[in-house]
Amino acid sequence: MVYLAIRAVGLLVLVWLSAANDESIVDNLTAWDGQWYLEIAQHGYGGVDPNMVDGFGNRYPETPLAFFPGYPFLVVAFSLLPGFSPTGGAITASLACGVAAAYGLARLGRRIGGSEGVGLLLVALFAAAPMSVVLSMAYSEALFCALAIWALIGILERNWLLAGLCCAAAGLVRPTAAALVGVVGLAAVVAVVQRKDTWRPWLALLLAPSGMLLYIGWVGVQTGSPTGYFALQQRGWSSHFDGGVATGQFVLESLTTEASVFETFTTWVVVAAVVLFVISLWHRLPWPLLVFAAAVLVLDLGSDGLMYSKVRLMLPAFPVAIGLARRRTTTAVATAVLLVFFGSWFGAYSLTAWQYAI
């Protein structure tokens, strides 16, 4: 209920800004990547509208392969329900995945913080995070976050089958799954070395990378190159790992030259995320959570590409918010309330007043 209430506030703000900009809320909820996912769900990779182009306005036969199949598959499943259109199936799928993520976060909060309150505050911070609007869109973030959260629960509770299966599924959803694969694999290796849980860690070790390897391998076959997926990402969206050079330049330019409101706030959200991660190091969180958050931030901020997507791609780094959830109740609640209104505005603004992709 906490999660749904906060997302409802975000949607109301989106309705308001959509009306103010004379735009359709349905169009905004299915904008940008949402159009790609819906096309893939309805027509398969080979039937995507040829008028849809990459970040540079180009279209190649392999361009649709930049989008992983996990979320479109889920959209198809929900679309088969009576009365559901593909768009309705996509929004409902994200809603269901967000609720699953909320249950997982509440469970993590209770385990780490020792109380129901910490878990609920963690849910609130996640639901209100800047760019949490994508959790209500035809985007894959809600699905990926839910799978990542439950995979980490599997590690902490030594449920290696849960960790392996969720990680394998996440590998079919987003390339960010590389961070999760690394954490699940490392945790399994540690358990094997310490001779814990007999053969079960081996199961997680084998399952974890399977989904991602399967899809990237399939793209390699389709493109005739084992690095085909990474090549099309770089060619179509300039997305490649550069050690953070491009992100650093964007931050410096945003803070020292004339920039838009969205660019300026994006920069400060990125800075805040890094600061929160440093603070989280002092809270003695379980190492799998810290390593996962660090890996997500490194993959996101260390890569070139669309700078306006940086905040969205940081959503899976939810462990950085645990430190806030473990503060005094009044401090945590005040922070959550402020974040609800800022996050709701930021996400709605990015889809209405801001003209570029997120």
pLDDT tens-place string over residues 141-187: 999 999 999 999 999 999 999 999 999 999 999 999 999 999 999 99
Contact in structure between 95 and 132 (CB atoms under 8 Å): no
| Residue ranges of E strands in 69-208 | none
User: Is pLDDT at 195 greater than 80 in this prediction?
Assistant: yes
Provide, rounded to the nearest whole percent, the portion of the chain with pLDDT above 70.
100
User: Is pLDDT at 96 greater than 80 in this prediction?
Assistant: yes
Return the bridge partners of 241, or none.
303
User: Is pLDDT at 40 greater than 80 in this prediction?
Assistant: yes
User: Is pLDDT at 66 greater than 90 in this prediction?
Assistant: yes
Tell me the mean pLDDT in the region 85-90.
96
CA distances, 318 to each of 42, 111, 298, 357 (Å):
32, 15, 14, 23
pLDDT of residue 326: 73
Q: Across the chain, what does the average pLDDT equal?
A: 95
Contact in structure between 92 and 138 (CB atoms under 8 Å): no
Which amino acid makes up residue 240? H
Tell me the mean pLDDT in the region 198-210.
96
Q: What is the pLDDT of residues 275-325, one digit of tens each?
A: 999 988 888 889 999 999 999 999 999 999 999 999 999 999 999 988 787
User: Is pLDDT at 328 greater than 80 in this prediction?
Assistant: no
pLDDT of residue 284: 83
In degrees rounded to 5, what are phi and psi of residue 221? -65, -40
pLDDT of residue 322: 85
Place of tokens 């309150």: 117
Min mean pLDDT across 191-205, 280-294, 296-310, 328-342 is at 328-342
Domain-wise residue ranges, the chain: 2-351
pLDDT of residue 1: 95
Tell me the mean pLDDT in the region 118-141.
96
Tell me the mean pLDDT in the region 86-91.
96
User: Is pLDDT at 269 greater than 90 in this prediction?
Assistant: yes
In 3D, which of 114, 170, 156 has the Cα closest to residue 316?
A: 170
Three-class secondary structure of residue 303 per DSSP: strand
